[in-house]
Amino acid sequence: MRPEPPRDAETVAEVGEFRLIHRVTAGRAQPPTTLLGPGDDAAVVAVPDGRVVASTDVLVEGVHFRLDWSSPEQVGRKAAAVNLADIVAMGALPSALLVGFACPPDTPASLVEGVMTGLWAEAAVAGAGVVGGDMVSSPTLVISITALGDMNGLEPVTRSGALVGDVVAVCGKLGWAAAGLAVLGRGFRSPVGIVAAQRTPEPPYPAGPQAAEAGATAMVDVSDGLLADLGHIAKASGVAIDIRTELLPVHPRLLDVASALGADARHWTLTGGEDHALAATFPGPKTVPEDWQTIGTVRAGSGVTVDGRVYEKPPGWEHWRT
């Protein structure tokens, strides 16, 4: 459910496609990698490394965000963050975003401007520009973003490089967004820090290239849940991964919220998505960067275990099944 807009609010139909595009793009700062931004048939982006890293995510109102829970600016920041996290999970530097935006004709133009303001702001945090895209009419508000990045002379860190004997480490928050979703679902708006993690995730952007420089053998963005996403590494690499719960970073604030809601903070940490932390494997403890926390090991076999056992609950989110 959306908040009711003011009665005199201009709609996107009243403003028109091209005036609205001008409103959300004019006067925006671009990074040096943007050689030609919005306004032409296509953008031109510099890729000094010579290799383009690309990823796409789609956010749908009512599935990935709710406008009675989040402001338009927060939705925009989230839309950018979930895409930029995929780029840094390859060890790349974010360079540009292409935005596809669809909404009903009666959508307030101010809502679109708010979303785009948040999107530009988050892109700037990661060092990327918003270089182009498209706006169309749709019965549902949908934001589709393609993110581009540059390897900056490093090799891409894929999901398929983990080796037996590697250690598993994470960087960023785990379980916070899941806790925030639980809080919002109960009709509460605090604790503010927990709720903010659901509204506007904070991927550790510098940590991806940092891991690549440190020799990470595999890496993934934790978008669907730690166990689910480590499962992608295990499958792609043909190995098994074991997580030790005594090493998991469970913040005391999560424990407090879980206690108040009758929930399990460890379950949030293991399976909660949308924090967009990074998980990676490294050749040994001495190669793990300072800001990362070791949580497990890579072994011979298949699948992901917790303290040597198969986790009995669903490992994370999966569309159409969850």
Nearest to 84 by CA among 208, 211, 213, 251: 208
Q: What is the 8-class DSSP label of residue 189? A: -
Q: How far apart are CA 24 and CA 123, in angstroms?
A: 14
β-strand 303-306 against 44-45: which pairing, if any?
unpaired
Q: Which residues pair with 44 in a beta bridge?
A: 36
Which residues face 52 on adjacent strands?
150
Q: Which residues are annotated as a binding site for substrate?
A: 64, 274, 317
Amino acid letter, 155: E
Tell me the C-alpha distance between 134 and 12, whole Å.
Answer: 14
Q: How far apart are CA 49 and CA 298, in angstroms?
A: 31
Q: Residues forming the annotated binding site for ATP?
A: 133-134, 159, 223
Identify the CA nearest to 230 among candidates 291, 160, 289, 279: 279
Sign of the four-CA dihedral 167, 173, 177, 180? positive
- For 62: left if phi > 0, alpha if psi spans -120 to 50, otherwise beta; the answer is left
Annotated binding site for Mg(2+): 41, 55-57, 86, 134, 221, 224
| CA end-to-end span of the chain | 21
User: Binding-site residues, please?
Assistant: 41, 55-57, 64, 86, 133-134, 159, 221, 223-224, 274, 317
- CA 49 to chain centroid, in Å, comes to 24
